[in-house]
Every structure is written in C-alpha cells, then in structure tokens.
Amino acid sequence: MKPNIKDFDLSELKELLLSSGEQRYRAEQVLRAIYIYRISSFDEIKIIPKHLRDYLTEKFKITVFRNISYQHSSDGTIKFLFHLSDGEAIESVLIPSEFVNNKKSGSRKTLCVSTQVGCTFNCAFCATGKLKFKRNLNTSEIIEQYLQAEKFIGEKITNIVFMGMGEPLLNYDNVKKAVIILLYPMFKLINSKKITISTSGFIPGIIKLADEHLPVKLALSLHATTQGLRDKLLPNCKSWKLKELFDSMEYYYRKTSTPVTYEYILFDGINDTQDDIKRLSRISKRIPSKINLIPFHTIDFTNPTGFSETLKPASGNKIHWFLRELKNKGINAFLRTSSGLDIDAACGQLALKSGLS
C-alpha cells in the first residue's frame, strides 16, 4: 500500500526527494499545493515538472478518508464521522463558537480532533473508552480532520483542541508531527497559541512535551482532588498518582512558561463539595493556571455498568455555586458549555453512535 504524503513533514519530504534525484525545494512546492491550495491530485501541481508529478502519483497517495458523514446540532455544532482506509472510524466535532460563563466568546471555530481509534483508559465518564483501543491515528489522519472540516464549512478554523477520541500523549510522535505541520509559518494554517493538547495524565508524555517545547497549550483532565476518587473515575490511570501528576504539571510550566488548564467535570454528590473547592484552590495556585468546569454529559447510550452507572450530573445551581466559590477564592475559573448535546457530540460522548448523514 502506498504511503500517504501527508504523513511526511517538510524535512522528511526534502530528504526523500533528494534521494530520488530531485531538488529539495520541490518539497515545499508540493506541500504548499496540498496545504494551501488543497489539491486532490498530484497532476494539479503544475509548478513542478511532469516527471515529478508522475513519480509522486506512483509512490504516494493524497486521500485519507474513504467516506465522510456529518450531523448538525441545533446550536451549530457539527459532528463528523470519518471512515478510515482500514475500515475503522473516528469522530471530530466542530464548535462554531463557544460560550464561557454564559457569554459568547466571539467568532472562534474550534475543532475537537481525535488521535486514536478508541481509547485505552476507559474513563468512567467517557463513551469513547467503551469502544476499547484499536490503534493510533497516523499523522495524515490527524491533519485530515482539520482539512476536511475547514473544507466543509468554507471558513478558517481558529482553534484546535486535541480532546477527541483517544489519549494524545500515547500517540505522541504522530501528534507532534501533525502539530509541526499545522504550525509551518509558510502555510499559516493556524496560530500556535490556538492549539491545546488535553491529557488524562500520562506523565511521561507531559515531561516529553515540556522538554521538547512543542508550542501548544496543555490541559489536564483532573476531575478529582483525591486519589481514591480519581482511581475510580480514571481506573486505567492509577499508575500516575496525583502528587507526581502535579509535579509534572509544574515541571511543564517551569520549562515552557505556559500556564496550564485543569478540566473538571462536576458529578452530583461526588466531587462538588466545599472540600473539593479548597483542594482545587491549592492545586490551581501552585502554578499559573485556570480551571474549566464542565457539566457531565450522559453516556447512557453506551449502557454503562459499575461505577459509570452511578455518575449523575451536578445541578445547574450546584455548578454555578461551585464556580462562584472558586472565583471568591481568586481562582481563574470558567464554565464551559455543553455544545452538541442533541447529537451526542459534547465532551465525553464520542462513540461512533449512528445517526450521521
């Protein structure tokens, strides 16, 4: 099977063309045609000689997905179902604009990108984990989500969040290469300040991200302020204890000088107490950070069992009380909206559920 040319970054393609007797500068021309002019066939790249177009056609493919389906939410959110070449599938979510603390945050268009088929962590509150892990996505499969979503809406995507299906830091190399390609200054695809990688707490990946200074923002799916509760909510993350996890977040900040985000889903009667507020206050003041409060979105369509079955969303009044108490303690806290609820596209709901057209 021919490799996809979108799996190669600029330096790799330069070396590959050089080894084939071509000039290195041709690599930028090829990638410019792909990422700026969005060509679908090498024959469309008229700036390069025909023999090179023939060589590229023989050696590489451009297309990534076999089929694309989509579903519109009443709030403007779009959920994409991308069918991969091996028969697997992933979902991505485009949020046209976002409400923070009940205020519209401008005209941003945020794409929630997947990095794996399924997930290894099987978090109690997340539908994706019920699919089990199949494989990592290739770089081309990550980038293509962005390209296809932008093509669909006919406008620029302003923000990318690696918060879709899978744990990004368990697919570090392909995620890193995708970020590098998206941030090429000559292509101007997206601003480096507009990319966020969210992790369930894979400490080796956090350290690597810090050491390599990948220019992205880091968010941690925290959801619990005690080890016992976190072990129940994220059972496959037990290897990474909260103390070491917070140490790694501090390490990341010290190395990058980039404030971090703590994501916190509120569950009724479980992690919504005054004691949780006190602990969150101490956690968030350790390094410059913010806390994003997220309502719990039901995953009843996955027929959850065990601890997952007991999880209920905190009430609206409780969420606003929790937010108010954090702010009263001087915490940089925000309430995120539940975009795409009517199409099961909200946080934690991606599970390849049917209904897309």
pLDDT of 198 reads 96
Question: Which CATH number does 5-59 carry?
Answer: 1.10.150.530
pLDDT of 342 reads 52
**What six digits make up the tokens of 102?**
């009940």
Q: How many CB atoms lie within 10 A of CB 38?
A: 11
pLDDT of 130 reads 75
Question: Which CATH number does 67-343 carry?
Answer: 3.20.20.70
pLDDT of 126 reads 84
pLDDT of 351 reads 55
Q: Report which secondary-structure segment, H or E, holds 207.
A: helix 203-211
- Determine which one of 112, 123, 237, 347 is catalytic: 347
Every domain of the chain with CATH number 3.20.20.70 lies at 67-343
pLDDT of 340 reads 52
Judged by DSSP in three states, 129 sits in helix
Every domain of the chain with CATH number 1.10.150.530 lies at 5-59
Matching residue, tokens 């909200």: 346
**What six digits make up the tokens of 128?**
């994706």
- Residue 236 is classified by DSSP as G
Q: How do the residues of the chain divide into helix, strand and coil, expressed in percent and rounded to 5? A: 40, 20, 40
| Ramachandran category for residue 356: left, alpha or beta (phi over 0 → left; psi -120 to 50 → alpha) | beta
Q: How far is CA 324 from its chain centroid?
A: 28
- Residue 90 is classified by DSSP as E
Per the annotation, the verdict on 112 as an active-site residue is: no
Within 8 A by CB and 6+ apart from 304, the residues are 124, 130, 311
Q: How far is CA 332 from its chain centroid?
A: 22
Of 192, 243, 253, nearest in space to 219 by CA: 253
What is the rounded CA–CA span in Å between residue 193 and residue 198?
14
Q: In angstroms, what CA-CA distances link 225 with 66, 107, 230, 272?
A: 43, 34, 7, 10
Per the annotation, the verdict on 91 as an active-site residue is: yes
Q: In angstroms, what CA-CA distances link 258 with 4, 181, 214, 217?
A: 34, 21, 11, 7
Of 62, 34, 61, nearest in space to 48 by CA: 34
What is the rounded CA–CA span in Å between residue 125 and residue 298?
8
User: Do residues 187 and 36 make contact, with C-beta atoms less than 8 angstroms apart?
Assistant: yes
pLDDT of 341 reads 56
Average pLDDT of adjacent 10-residue blocks, the chain of 357 residues:
95 95 96 96 96 96 89 87 93 75 65 94 81 92 96 93 95 97 92 93 97 95 96 90 97 97 96 97 96 87 80 94 97 82 51 46
Q: In angstroms, what CA-CA distances link 154 with 24, 109, 157, 255?
A: 32, 12, 9, 38
- Determine which one of 12, 22, 91, 112 is catalytic: 91
